[in-house]
């Protein structure tokens, strides 16, 4: 069988599963051919055969998360300014960049897309994106669940004419929507006057973000075309935004439905036969067990957001107890080859609380929320299945979230902040670091007041000259954070034991410590990653971690040899050690 015939049959199989309960206006064969044509996969010569269960990443991969205009300067396009900043301050630390939606938009800081095929003129143009792609692997957002109510597609829906006239999911006030999982408190249905009368458009997030109807195969085709266009412009990673809500069936919870998973598998098949190096990451801010299903059998997402990590790690560092983080870490299955975790502890959004449900008790979640509020955080709410208003997300800059403990603010803010990142950088998976974490940016109350949006607290826009003054001043906490963070990253990327798929084993230690062991794929390097997560000095007994005393061990972070004869190691408050039997020396910056 030819490569094209094999691929065509595989695409047909996906489509059969997706549309088995939908009456289509065309055959599955016609739809499969249209998808392959849109993707430019029309002959054997166009098709690459993806190697199964292959890891297209290693310990060198660090992803920065940033808006296109997180750093700006007068007289220059923000994307050019960002490029300059990255090359100047991050060239030895970051090799991939997630530029948050850089398309024309109407709300939600980019996630209400007006036009998927354009670059926001306020940021730059496609040439600026392509220049960035020459120096960094770029992650593009595929905002696949919804678009802006100001888009041409939705305007055509209102007119009931042209492309988009049947792209959007509708229901009626009489339909059973009682089970629908909601991430927001706004009404689900938006009353809209169209040329064919009043219709009620489904809006999972806001009334400016109108949900697509993927039972219409033209929507599936439209996004295949967008995917191909983004790859042509340099995308090496796709973040499927809010994809868990993609397929809707009335009378269900309308989240994580089988058709949603099959749509992801279909796009995975198309993408990997066009370019096997392109990676799909699913953004599914849902309870941990549900999130894990998006790996499929290494045939769905290459990577999933580790959404439980941010609330659990922050909780660990403010309570001084690693009990819940330990339990969660031990329960996490190793990612099989061809898949990995995407680890992050801060992002443009807040600290999601749904992924901590079942991991922290209601009382513990309440303490976490109260503590974050005392550090200046804002609390966003959602409507639960029972119609209750529940905390959904904590909006706070991570630097301020770690300014103290449940007992209040203290002097350990920077050390606690670095400790959090040292834990994340050592873990199985690919690390994602938000630009404002790299810079130690605090809460931006002025932006919250200006926008009226809680999430703005962690979306500061820096002027380049102001930022450079702070980063070049040794007395600035921004300088201290950037220096320590980049040094940690450079150490991490030199260790084979920190390959995203290297072996990981959680250590059973005192609750005031959090530790795990990593071993390189070739088994030549072992690293014990141990953090004191309390505000008191701790003396670790080396035999407690089964350290082989006949080997020579070095703390990679301090470059100090471990005195195994003494059998003890003192850890200062919030100190992390990476004890390795193979010392890859890192030159200071």
For the residues 526-553, what does the mean pLDDT come to? Answer: 90
For the residues 331-344, what does the mean pLDDT come to? Answer: 96
pLDDT per position as a tens digit, 239-257: 999 999 999 999 999 999 9
pLDDT per position as a tens digit, 35-70: 999 999 999 999 999 999 999 999 999 999 999 999
Known binding residue 213? Answer is no
487: pLDDT strictly greater than 70: yes
Token pair for 150: 């100001």
* Rounded-to-integer distance, Cα 86 and Cα 57, Å: 21
E strands, 203-356, in order: 209-211, 235-241, 279-282, 303-305, 340-344, 351-352
Known binding residue 349? Answer is yes
Confidence (pLDDT) at 385 = 66
- For residue 587, name the pLDDT band (cuts at 50, 70, 90): very low
% of the chain exceeding 90 in pLDDT? 90
Pair type for strands 378-383 and 351-352: unpaired
Task: Tell me if domain 63-149+212-498 and domain 503-580 are identical in fold.
Answer: no
175 annotated active-site: no
Confidence (pLDDT) at 584 = 53
Known binding residue 8? Answer is no
For the residues 308-312, what does the mean pLDDT come to? Answer: 97
* CATH code, 503-580: 2.60.40.1180
Tokens 């888009």 identify what position? 151
Token pair for 418: 């670095």
588: pLDDT strictly greater than 50: no
Confidence (pLDDT) at 586 = 47
Known binding residue 470? Answer is no
For the residues 82-97, what does the mean pLDDT come to? Answer: 95
What residues contact residue 531 under an 8 Å CB cut-off, 6+ apart?
419, 422, 423, 513, 514, 515, 571, 574, 575, 576, 577
Q: List the chain domain ranges.
A: 63-149+212-498, 503-580
Lowest mean pLDDT among 206-220, 223-237, 345-359: 345-359
Known binding residue 108? Answer is yes
* Rounded-to-integer distance, Cα 135 and Cα 523, Å: 32
The CATH number of 63-149+212-498, from 3.50.50.60, 3.30.1490.100, 3.30.360.10, 3.20.20.80, is 3.20.20.80
* Rounded-to-integer distance, Cα 479 and Cα 472, Å: 6
Angle (nearest 5°) at CA 113 between 109 and 215: 135
441: pLDDT strictly greater than 90: yes
Confidence (pLDDT) at 583 = 59
* Rounded-to-integer distance, Cα 418 and Cα 48, Å: 42
DSSP character for 50?
Answer: P
DSSP string, 430-478: EEEEEHHHHTT----HHHHHHH--GGGGG---EEHHHHHHHHT-TTSHH
- For residue 585, name the pLDDT band (cuts at 50, 70, 90): very low
Mean of per-residue pLDDT scores for the chain: 95
For the residues 445-466, what does the mean pLDDT come to? Answer: 96
Known binding residue 455? Answer is yes
Among the options 141, 208, 241, 555, which is catalytic?
Answer: 241
For the residues 157-178, what does the mean pLDDT come to? Answer: 97
Known binding residue 508? Answer is no
* Rounded-to-integer distance, Cα 278 and Cα 234, Å: 10
Task: State the pTM of this model.
Answer: 0.95
Residue 504 φ/ψ, nearest 5 degrees: -135, 135
Helices (H), 190-308: 217-232, 258-274, 288-292
Known binding residue 511? Answer is no
């Amino acid at each position: 069988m030819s490569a094209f015939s094999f691929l065509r049959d595989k695409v047909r199989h996906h489509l059969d599963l997706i549309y088995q309960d939908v009456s289509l206006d065309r055959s599955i064969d016609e739809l499969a051919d249209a998808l392959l044509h849109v993707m430019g996969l029309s002959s054997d010569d166009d098709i690459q055969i993806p190697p199964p269960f292959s890891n297209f990443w290693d310990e060198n991969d660090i992803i920065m998360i940033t808006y296109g205009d997180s750093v700006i300067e007068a007289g220059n396009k923000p994307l050019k300014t960002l490029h300059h900043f990255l090359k100047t301050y991050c060239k030895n630390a970051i090799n991939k960049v997630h530029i948050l939606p850089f398309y024309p938009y109407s709300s939600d800081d980019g996630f209400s897309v007006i036009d998927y095929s354009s670059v926001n003129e306020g940021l730059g143009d496609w040439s600026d994106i392509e220049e960035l792609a020459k120096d960094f692997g770029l992650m593009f957002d595929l905002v696949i669940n919804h678009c802006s109510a100001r888009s041409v597609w939705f305007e055509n829906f209102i007119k009931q004419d042209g492309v988009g006239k049947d792209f959007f999911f509708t229901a009626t006030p009489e339909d059973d929507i009682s089970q629908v999982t909601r991430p927001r408190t706004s009404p689900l249905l938006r009353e809209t006057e169209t040329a064919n009368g009043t219709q009620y458009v489904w809006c999972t997030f806001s009334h400016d973000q109108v949900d697509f109807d993927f039972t219409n195969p033209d929507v599936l085709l439209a996004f295949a075309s967008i995917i191909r266009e983004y790859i042509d412009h340099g995308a090496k990673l796709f973040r499927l935004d809010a994809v868990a809500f993609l397929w809707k069936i009335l009378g269900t919870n309308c989240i994580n439905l089988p058709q949603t998973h099959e749509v992801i598998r279909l796009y995975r098949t198309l993408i990997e036969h066009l370019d096997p190096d392109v990676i799909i990451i699913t953004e599914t801010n849902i309870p941990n067990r549900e999130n894990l299903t998006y790996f499929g059998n290494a045939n769905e997402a290459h990577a999933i957001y580790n959404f439980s990590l941010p609330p659990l790690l922050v909780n660990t560092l403010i309570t001084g107890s690693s009990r819940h983080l330990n339990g969660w870490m031990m329960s996490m299955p190793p990612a099989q080859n061809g898949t990995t975790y995407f680890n992050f502890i801060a992002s443009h959004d807040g600290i999601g609380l749904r992924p901590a449900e079942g991991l922290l008790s209601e009382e513990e979640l309440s303490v976490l929320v109260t503590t974050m509020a005392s550090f200046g955080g804002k609390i966003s709410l959602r409507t639960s299945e029972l119609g209750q208003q529940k905390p959904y997300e904590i909006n706070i800059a991570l630097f301020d979230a770690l300014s103290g403990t449940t007992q209040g603010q203290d002097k350990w803010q920077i050390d606690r902040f670095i400790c959090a990142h040292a834990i994340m950088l050592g873990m199985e998976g690919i690390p994602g670091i938000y630009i404002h974490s790299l810079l130690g940016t605090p809460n931006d109350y002025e932006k919250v007041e200006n926008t009226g949006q809680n999430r703005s607290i962690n979306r500061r826009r820096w002027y380049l000259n102001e930022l450079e003054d702070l980063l070049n001043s040794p007395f600035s906490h921004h300088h201290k954070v950037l220096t320590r963070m980049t040094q940690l990253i450079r150490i991490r990327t030199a260790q084979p034991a920190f390959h995203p798929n290297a072996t990981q084993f959680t250590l059973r230690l005192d609750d005031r410590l959090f530790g795990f062991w990593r071993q390189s794929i070739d088994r030549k390097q072992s690293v014990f990653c141990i953090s004191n997560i309390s505000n008191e000095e701790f003396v670790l007994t080396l035999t407690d971690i089964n350290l082989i005393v006949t080997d020579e061990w070095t703390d990679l972070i301090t470059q100090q040899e471990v005195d195994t004869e003494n059998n003890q190691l003192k850890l200062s408050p919030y100190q992390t050690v990476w004890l390795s039997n193979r010392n890859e020396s890192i030159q200071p910056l």
